[in-house]
């Protein structure tokens, strides 16, 4: 099963993608996590990506597409995957579509996690991320057991640089201009499914499994 998560930054794509990956035993691939791991390791890719990410801008398609295509060509992706944060532009979606078509394959579901802009700033300012294992929490809605410490790996939780309110506004503008058109793109391919992302994360997941189990 090949799944794409769509939605504004902070809509809950990563939260749901992790649950999907666990339940359906497919890898969770987040381009944001790949960039953050490169930043942490100090690679050239990380240094370049950071200049865009810190401003709330998208990393250029040429860089992002190559990383994603290399990742989905790996053995563990044979039976499918859930993509979180890719594609984010129409050209990225077209490249992925072409690569899959050449393999006689296609995306099965594009799940749009729908959350209005009004809720997003709160979601992002309360988000705490573990840069070691990629786990995500929310200080009010989904708190870790011990404040500031990752339940999964015990590392320190941080407010991401790009989750500060001034950057979030830019990211929302970029989302509306460059990523939202993907809703029409995947509607035209008959794979778009929209779920209400404002309800409890367990209820969002129940709506998603109902779609995937049909
Ligand atoms: P995205 O991957 O779309 O950027 P995340 O999955 O990281 O979003 O979620 C953004 C923030 O909102 C996180 O702090 C997360 O814990 C929280 N969150 C996710 N889903 C819900 C939900 N259904 N209700 C409340 N908060 C949520
Ligand atoms: P995320 O973790 O998905 O919120 O992504 C964090 C940041 O990484 C984004 O704001 C972008 O700067 C960059 N990024 C992640 N995925 C992509 C992508 N598919 N295309 C371009 N930039 C991306």
Quick one: which of 176, 131, 151 has its CA closest to 11?
176
For residue 207, pLDDT beyond 90:
yes
Helix and strand numbers (H, E) in the chain are 9, 8
Mode of pairing for the β-strands spanning 2-6 and 28-30: unpaired
Given a cut of 90, whether residue 161 has pLDDT beyond it is no
15-71 pLDDT per residue, tens: 999 999 999 999 999 999 999 999 999 999 999 999 999 999 999 999 999 999 999
Q: What is the structure's pLDDT at 195?
A: 98
Per-residue pLDDT band for 177 (boundaries 50, 70, 90) equals very high
Pairwise CA distance, residues 207 & 62, whole Å: 34
- Residue 172 pLDDT > 90, yes or no? yes
What was the pLDDT predicted at 181? 98
Please work out, in degrees rounded to the nearest 5, the angle formed at the alpha carbon of residue 103 by the alpha carbons of 97 and 106. 45
pLDDT at 148 over 90: yes
Radius of gyration of the chain (CA): 16
Residue 111 Rama label (left phi>0; alpha psi -120 to 50; beta): beta
Q: How far apart are CA 153 and CA 126, in angstroms?
A: 20
Which ligand neighbours the alpha carbon of 200 most closely?
1
Question: Would you call 123 a catalytic residue per the annotation?
Answer: no
Tell me how far apart the terminal alpha carbons of the chain are, to the nearest angstrom.
13
36 is catalytic: no
Cβ neighbours of residue 48 closer than 8 Å, sequence gap 6 or more: 59, 63
Does position 214 have pLDDT exceeding 90, yes or no?
no
Q: Which residues pair with 111 in a beta bridge?
A: 5, 193
C-beta of residue 6 within 8 angstroms of C-beta of residue 179: yes
Distance 102 CA to ligand 1 centre (A): 34
Question: Which numbered atom of ligand 1 lies nearest the CA of 84?
Answer: 2
CA 98–ligand 1 middle distance (angstroms): 31
The pLDDT tens digits of the residues spanning 65-123 come to 999 999 999 999 999 999 999 999 999 999 999 999 999 999 999 999 999 999 998 89
pLDDT value of residue 165 = 87
């Amino acid at each position: 099963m090949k799944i794409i998560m769509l939605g504004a930054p902070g809509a809950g794509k990563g939260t749901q993608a992790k649950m999907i990956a666990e339940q359906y035993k497919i890898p969770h691939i987040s381009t944001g996590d790949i960039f953050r791991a490169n930043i942490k390791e100090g690679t050239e890719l990380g240094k370049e990506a950071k200049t865009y990410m810190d401003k709330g801008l998208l990393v250029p398609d040429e860089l992002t597409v190559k990383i994603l295509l290399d990742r989905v060509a790996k053995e563990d992706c044979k039976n499918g995957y859930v993509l979180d944060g890719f594609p984010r532009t129409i050209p990225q979606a077209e490249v992925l579509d072409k690569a899959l078509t050449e393999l006689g394959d296609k995306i099965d579901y594009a799940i749009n996690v729908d959350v209005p802009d009004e809720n997003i700033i709160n979601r992002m300012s309360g988000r705490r991320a573990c840069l070691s294992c990629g786990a995500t929490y929310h200080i009010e809605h989904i708190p870790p057991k011990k404040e500031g410490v990752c339940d999964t790996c015990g590392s320190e939780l941080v407010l991401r640089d790009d989750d500060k309110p001034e950057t979030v506004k830019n990211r929302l503008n970029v989302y509306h201009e460059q990523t939202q058109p993907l809703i029409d793109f995947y509607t035209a391919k008959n794979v778009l499914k929209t779920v209400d992302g404002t309800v409890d994360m367990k209820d969002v997941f129940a709506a998603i499994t109902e779609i995937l189990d049909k």
